[in-house]
Structure 1
Amino acid sequence: MISLFFSILASTLIFIVFKLFSKYNINTFQAIVVNYIVACICGLLAYSGDLSIREIPGQPWFVYTLGLGITFIVVFNLMALTTQRSGLSVVSVATKMSLVIPVVFGLWYYKESLGIFKATGIVLALVAVYFASIKNKDGLKIQRSNLIFPVLVFLGSGFIDTSIKYLENSYVATDEVPVFSATIFAAAGSLGLISLIFLALKGSIRIDIKNIIGGIFLGVPNYFSVYFLVEALRSGMLESSGIFTVNNVAIVMLSTLVGILLFKEKLIVKNWIGIIIAVVSILLITIDFNV
């Protein structure tokens, strides 16, 4: 349970850092690129196994981590585009609703259990994500021409979570989790760095020290959010379908509460309903596992 708690906490810290980005006018793209590099360094520093850097390309999970790293940065850009066109609430819902994909994969591929409590908990978790994420009384409004972007965010986020579960279960040794995570971030950071250098040479952007500092503060919790998620998946406390559901809905719930306490955000009735439903869904899923 400790690993899951720290994964949720780290993901909530990411939310806090992103909120501070807007306050201090930090360029998100620059900070994101630095964040991936910092997260990679964190993984390498945390790794204490026998595998040397030169041996990493020979690992069975290496090619997959390259693909995941590319997906990380592509999904981030899709999230930024969706925010611009449809708003932050749409991105939040699309990202967290994507838990459906790894949950269904766990139920189908790993033949995980689906009791009445767990099934009800998963459905309520989706309802909770929606209600806790919307910030206006009219709900979400998406123009038909922009619908493809949240759909791609949904699919991309779900693909990332599902791939992490599959790879950690099939290819990654217990002591390789830090270097496995570091390689994913290295791939994302390399692609982002190439883009950043290209834009800088064109004169389209100017590198600012505050963006680098912002990336450092983002990179540390980002690494631990992935590291502790993998550890939680391996802990046996819940099946993967339960882990992803509890993780996502708890992040939404805690981030909403942090928004109230630290940033004085005002919640509408639907948000409070979402928080209450989130608590109920978590209880149902954990009860189902212990029955």
Structure 2
Amino acid sequence: MIYLLLSILISTGLFVIFKYFGIYKVDVLKAIFINYIVAFILGFTFAERDFSVIEIPNQPWFLGALFLGALFVSIFFVMAMTAQKNGVSVASVAGKMSVVIPVFFGVFLYNESVTVLKIVGIVIALIAVYLASVKEDKIATEKAGLLFPVLLFLGSGTIDTTLKYVETNFVDKADVSIFSGSLFAIAAFFAGIILIIKAIRKREKFEIKNCIAGLILGVPNYFSIVFLIKALQTEGFESSTLFTINNVGIVIVSTLVGILIFKEQFSIKNKLGVALAILGIIIVALA
């Protein structure tokens, strides 16, 4: 349970950091690139066994890490396009509602329990995520279409599902840090390619603030993945329960942080969403 709690708190911290990125006009792609480098260095530094970098491509989880690393960068861009074209609230809802995908696969791939109480809890949690994320101000999204929100929904759910599958079948408990570090190294490679292409098209200064921002982001980003994997490895904790509690927990804590630190205004819908989220978590945990 401690790993799940840490995952929720640190993942919420990432949202806070991104909030400050906007305030200080940080180039997100450049910061993300530095962040991936920091994260993979941490992964290799905290490795729980001796290893050689040249052995990584031969690991049973390498193809999974390769797929996830590329997906991390891709979904980042899809998230940005969704926020720009459809609005931030739509991006938030699409990302968090994707919890239904790993929950669905958890039931069918790992024969996890299906009870009326769990189904009720998950449905309440999904409603809660929507209510807590939706904003009252109307954004004209008719021309934007549903392509990017759908891609974000599917991509976010695929990341969680693949992470669970690779962790269950291929990642030894002593390899969590090495696996996480490799995943971030691959993501840094793909992000670096994108930056090089952008630099060829338009020369831009890297700026020290983007490097500092990436350093600040890299540490919690690394531990958010490590703690989530550690939580998935906890005995007696079904992934359908864990992902529901994790995603909804992030919505609750993020909402509270928004109110207390950034003085954000929340509607009655948002407050009702937080209340339902707490109820949903309790029901799923009891189930």
Q: Same fold (TM over 0.5)?
A: yes
Distance 2:203 2:121 in 1: 47
State whether structure 2 residue 205 is matched by structure 1 residue 175.
no
SS at match of 2:261: helix
Question: How big is the shift at 1:237?
Answer: 4.7
Question: How big is the shift at 1:151?
Answer: 0.2
Question: How big is the shift at 1:42?
Answer: 1.4
Match of 1:108 in 2: 108
Match of 1:11 in 2: 11
Q: Show the 5 A alignment for 1:1-291.
A: 1-136=1-136, 142-143=141-142, 145-288=144-287
Change (3 A) 1:149 1:239: same
Distance 1:205 1:166 in 2: 40
Change (3 A) 1:105 1:216: same
SS at match of 2:243: helix
* TM-score scaled by length of structure 2: 0.97
Change (3 A) 1:194 1:137: closer
Q: Which of structure 1's runs of 4+ aligned residues deviate more than 4 A?
A: none
Tell me if the contact between 2:47 and 2:175 (Cα under 8 Å) persists in the aligned partners: yes
Question: How big is the shift at 1:194?
Answer: 1.8
Residue identity in the other structure for 2:121:
G
Instruction: String of CA shifts for 1:71-128, please: whole Å, max 9, x gaps.
Output: 1100000100111101111111011011110000000111100112211111011001
Tell me if the contact between 2:86 and 2:144 (Cα under 8 Å) persists in the aligned partners: no
Question: How big is the shift at 1:136?
Answer: 1.1
Percent identity reads 48
Distance 1:130 1:142 in 2: 17
Q: Say how many residue pairs are matched.
A: 287
Tell me if the contact between 1:95 and 1:154 (Cα under 8 Å) persists in the aligned partners: yes
* Bigger shift: residues 237-246 or 271-280: 237-246
Distance 2:57 2:105 in 1: 28
Distance 1:279 1:60 in 2: 38
SS at match of 1:146: coil
Distance 2:42 2:26 in 1: 22
Question: How big is the shift at 1:137?
Answer: 5.9
Instruction: String of CA shifts for 1:160-198, please: whole Å, max 9, x gaps.
Output: 000000000000111000110111111111111122123
Distance 1:86 1:144 in 2: 9
* Bigger shift: residues 251-260 or 213-222: 213-222
Residue identity in the other structure for 2:278:
V
Question: How big is the shift at 1:204?
Answer: 4.2
Tell me if the contact between 2:85 and 2:144 (Cα under 8 Å) persists in the aligned partners: no
Across the aligned residues of Structure 1 and Structure 2, the Cα RMSD in angstroms comes to: 1.3
SS at match of 1:235: coil
Unaligned 5+ residue runs, structure 2?
none
Distance 1:92 1:223 in 2: 21
